[in-house]
Amino acid sequence: MQPIKLLSKLTTKTLNLTGTFGGSGQDVIDWRTAAHALAGLPQCQTNWAYFRYVGEETRLNRVIRSLTMHITLFIKIKRYKVKSETLNGIVMAAVYEFVQPVCGECDGSGLAPGQIATNLDALICIKCHGRGRKPVSTRSRCKIIGIGHKSYTDSHDDITKELLRLIAGWESDIFKNIRVKMGEVA
Ligand SMILES: [Zn+2]
């Protein structure tokens, strides 16, 4: 089973829907199997998995805390100056961006459809700028951050991209863990 499909089954919503519409019984995964699939992951990844896929919104605080901890080091190395309220907003906005649906233009690949691989720049999807998700406008991003849309700087954007990379890394750890625990069950 695809890790993403398995994770989607962890959500109560999906389980309820499956019952309501009489989805195929073989597809339903029990909660113990799900917990087993996530067992052994480090704390940050576990919190993210339960927040994103199990709908445990109370984990958000812990997710924010781990992201802030990791990104603080990055900010130090890059010598960026960011107020802590602003940083908190940037972290929230990055989480918001990460959970957006995949980009309809490139189906989440971040690459422009039908492009010939001659020039790397030409391959980036124009709609999502290579992020692979439905674009979040600077205006709505800044609303979450709590700054004016003209105050969003290149260093803010660099921090955002690093946060998205961090979360993407967690997701890849989660999928790897599930594949191992489930023994690549088809
Ligand atoms: Zn795209």
Domain locations in the chain as residue ranges = 3-100+136-182
What share of the chain in percent tops pLDDT 90? 45
Residue 116: the pLDDT is: 55
Determine which helix (DSSP H) or strand (DSSP E) holds 155, and give its type and residue range: helix 154-182
CA distance 186 to 184: 6
- Ligand 1 mean position, distance from CA 170 (Å): 21
Ligand 1: centre distance to CA 36 (Å): 34
pLDDT digits (tens, 9 = 90+) for 66-83: 999 999 999 999 999 999
Whole-number pLDDT of residue 25: 43
Report how far residue 141's alpha carbon sits from residue 94's, in angstroms, rounded to the nearest whole number. Answer: 8
Distance 90 CA to ligand 1 centre (A): 22
> For residue 142, how many other CB atoms are within 10 A of its CB?
19
Q: Give distance in angstroms: CA of 121 to centre of ligand 1.
A: 14
d(CA 154, CA 184): 42
Q: How much distance in Å is there from the Cα of 115 to the middle of ligand 1? A: 13
Token pair in block for residue 65: 């805390």
For 24-70, write each residue's pLDDT tens digit: 444 445 567 778 888 999 999 999 988 887 777 889 999 999 999 99
Give DSSP secondary structure letters for 59-105.
GHHHHHHHHHHHHHHHHHHHT----HHHHHHHHHHHHHHHTSPBPTT
Q: Return the structure tokens found at 163.
A: 């946060």
